């Protein structure tokens, strides 16, 4: 049976959203990005993509598809001028061992022979060629029993950001117990505003207090707790905020930037 295609009213119906950089996935899945560059001399027709012997899509020039599978052995293939043999279903299959947490980039070769394996490219090369690509959207895939939902690794998507503060800028000196000053409250409020611009909602907020050897660890803990309370009052959930005590090297000087807030 030949691939099932929806009937497009014009070229725009062939494609969906524009390509964006592939997001890393967790170790429980493997991600595949298959694309066909917008070549000036493409082979006629679509390039049929197969996964484990099942038809997935037909890539037109300038199109891409992406999907996730469980790690392990899979067969993959992309074929131009595939009809009527339908090589990916009926014989010419290429096996690959896909690792969990990895993203694989495969490109259609317009001159590819049926006996040639898929063309693998690096993420950088795919990124350079994919700037004008759009998701292929005009076909009905038959890989529903093979593909699995992609689960993205947020820790790789959002690298750790550091924000440094001085204790003297955040705390009032005339208090027996650590107390956030008005200046410190303004500084933390500005920090929270910038935080929500960069992150819709941070997954982890770590308050790291740097202290010289021999410094009062109890007071450092009280300072960290005061900062945490201030962040919670600014709608940062308590369960994403952690406290970390770190000891400075000999070069650590009181009054320097000794409070580090880490986000990801």
Is the pLDDT assigned to residue 160 strictly greater than 50? yes
The tokens describing 226, both together, are 């005061």
CATH number given to 158-263? 3.30.1330.60
Strand order in the sheet with 63-69: 15-18, 134-136, 63-69, 30-36, 103-107, 119-121
- The most confident of the ranges 91-100, 159-168, 175-184, 227-236 is 227-236
Task: State the pLDDT confidence band at 3, using cuts at 50, 70 and 90.
Answer: very low
More confident residue, 219 or 232: 232
Whether the link from the prior residue into 84 is cis, omega within 30° of 0, is yes
pTM: 0.57
Strand order in the sheet with 54-59: 54-59, 47-51, 72-80, 94-98
Would you state the pLDDT for residue 7?
42
Strand order in the sheet with 161-165: 161-165, 259-263, 205-211, 241-247
Closest CA to 47 of 94, 20, 1, 87: 87
pLDDT in tens, 28-37: 999 999 999 8
Residue spans of the domains in the chain: they are 15-154, 158-263
Q: How far apart are CA 98 and CA 75, in angstroms?
A: 10
pLDDT above 70 coverage of the chain, percent:
79
Q: How far apart are CA 125 and CA 119, in angstroms?
A: 12
Is the pLDDT assigned to residue 9 strictly greater than 60? no
């Amino acid at each position: 049976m030949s691939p099932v295609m929806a009937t497009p009213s014009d070229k725009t119906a062939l494609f969906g959203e524009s390509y964006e950089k592939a997001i890393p996935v967790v170790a429980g899945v493997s991600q595949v990005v298959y694309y066909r560059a917008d070549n000036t001399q493409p082979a006629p027709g679509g390039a049929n993509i197969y996964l484990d012997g099942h038809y997935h899509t037909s890539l037109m020039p300038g199109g891409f598809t992406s999907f996730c599978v469980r790690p392990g052995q899979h067969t993959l293939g992309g074929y131009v001028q595939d009809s009527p043999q339908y090589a990916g279903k009926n014989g010419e299959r290429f096996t690959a061992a896909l690792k969990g947490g990895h993203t694989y980039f495969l490109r259609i070769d317009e001159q590819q022979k049926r006996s040639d394996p898929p063309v693998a490219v690096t993420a950088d090369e795919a990124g350079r060629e994919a700037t004008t690509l759009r998701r292929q959207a005009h076909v009905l895939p038959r890989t529903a029993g093979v593909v699995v939902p992609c689960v993205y690794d947020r820790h790789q998507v959002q690298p750790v950001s550091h924000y440094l503060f001085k204790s003297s800028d955040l705390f009032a000196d005339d208090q027996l117990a650590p107390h956030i000053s008005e200046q410190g409250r303004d500084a933390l409020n500005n920090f929270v505003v910038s935080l929500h611009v960069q992150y819709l909602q941070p997954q982890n907020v770590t308050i790291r207090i740097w202290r010289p050897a021999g410094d009062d660890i109890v007071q450092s803990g009280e300072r960290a707790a005061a900062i945490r309370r201030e962040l919670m009052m600014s709608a940062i959930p308590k369960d994403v905020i952690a406290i970390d005590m770190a000891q400075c090297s000999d070069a650590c000087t009181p009054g320097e930037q000794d409070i580090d807030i880490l986000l990801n």
